[in-house]
Structure 1
Amino acid sequence: MISIRPMDAIDYEKVANIYQQGIDSKQCTFETEVPTWESFDQGHLQYPRLVAVDEQGQVCGFIVLSLMSSRRCFRGVAEISIYLDRAYTGQGIGRTLMNEMITQSEEAGIWSLFSGIFPENKASIALHQRCGFREIGYREKMGESEDGTFRDVIFFERRSQIIG
């Protein structure tokens, strides 16, 4: 049984390990290093931040938001990041995390969630689509990977019902 709860600083060691798995896969992020807790903490909204935990209390996934802009008019627009421990994929945990984030983000006044996904990350694309995100754009060679390869990114968006 998986439960969802707010992320605490004490969760960061496991969150960092899961993030490293995403970096190592080369399918989740352009980043090449896991940030320090301080950098991670400053780069993401304080609320909501969620972790999925198993029956033993082990963190098996996390989901966080980053503001898209500091301008007041965009205060309800955030980029969503979701990562699962590879040992827990394919069990519906991502969907549970995503649905809870959607609920909590709307309660917090977020009206638009965005995500940029590498086209090769079919599981993430499918998850976003199942959770009501729609493709809004495709950028060719948007960023350069550490190995010098330029990667394409597909953008997805989910609009809240709070804006009609």
Structure 2
Amino acid sequence: MAFRITELTAEHAEQVLAVYQSGIDEGNATFETCAPSWAAFDAGRLPGHRLVALDEDGTVLGWAAVAAVSARSVYAGVVEHSVYVHPRARGRGVGSALLAELVRSTEAAGIWTVQSGIFPENTASLALHERAGFRVVGVRSRVGRHHGVWRDVVLVERRSPVVE
């Protein structure tokens, strides 16, 4: 499957939110229970680090984006990321390509740490992140309830070898 990575814009909103909702519906991607409105999605992610993978006809195969972890200036180089791949596009390198481009864009902007929290049951995401150079920092046990069940979250991070 041929695809290209490009900037995620409002033109992709409907498809991006549908891919997000697919991940939510599977139950092991996030504590969220429904995709936000485009306005909320847009307001919560940093510009310059929003990516989509598009197939040849412009269909969104996946997306990646980052959010600031804190408003404090000392954490300006630390972001939390999300990466979601449409179920029909999995296993084709879409997630790897999105993460690689996300690392390039964040490093170019002086961001030194990209982190995320992943449910331990999401073994595909954990493997993807390991291949992309992320390391497990630890596990936050019973950090939140999801559909009435306490869930753990594996904290992963990638420290830039380029940005100091």
Give the TM bin, normalised by the shorter chain. over 0.9
Quote the Cα distance in structure 1 between the aligned partners of 2:87 and 2:163. 36
- Which runs of 4 or more aligned residues in structure 1 lie more than 6 Å from their structure 2 counterparts after TM superposition? none
Structure-1 separation of matches of 2:140 and 2:72: 24
Partner of 1:101: 102
**What's the counterpart of residue 80 of structure 2?**
79
Deviations 1:80-132 (A, max 9, x none): 10000000001111001100100111001111000100000010000000000
Structure 2 residue matching 1:114: 3-state secondary structure: strand
| Counterpart code for 2:25 | D
CA–CA separation in structure 2 for the residues paired with 1:40 and 1:143: 21
Cα separation, 2, equivalents of 1:93 and 1:22: 15
Structure 1: where are the runs of 5+ without partners? none
- TM-score, normalised to structure 1, is 0.97
Paired residue secondary structure (2:136): strand
1:8-157 aligned at under 5 Å gives the runs: 8-145=9-146, 147-157=147-157
Q: How many residues align?
A: 163
Q: Which amino acid in the other structure matches residue 52 of structure 1?
A: A
Q: Secondary structure at the match of 2:162?
A: helix
Give the counterpart letter for 1:17 in structure 2: A
Identity, % of aligned positions: 44
Show structure 2 runs of 5+ residues with no match. none
SS at match of 1:32: coil
| CA distance in 1 between partners of 2:163 and 2:12 (Å) | 33
Aligned-residue Cα RMSD (Å) equals 0.8
Give yes or no for contact 2:110–2:163 (8 Å, CA) kept in 1.
Answer: no
| Letter aligned with residue 155 of structure 1 | L
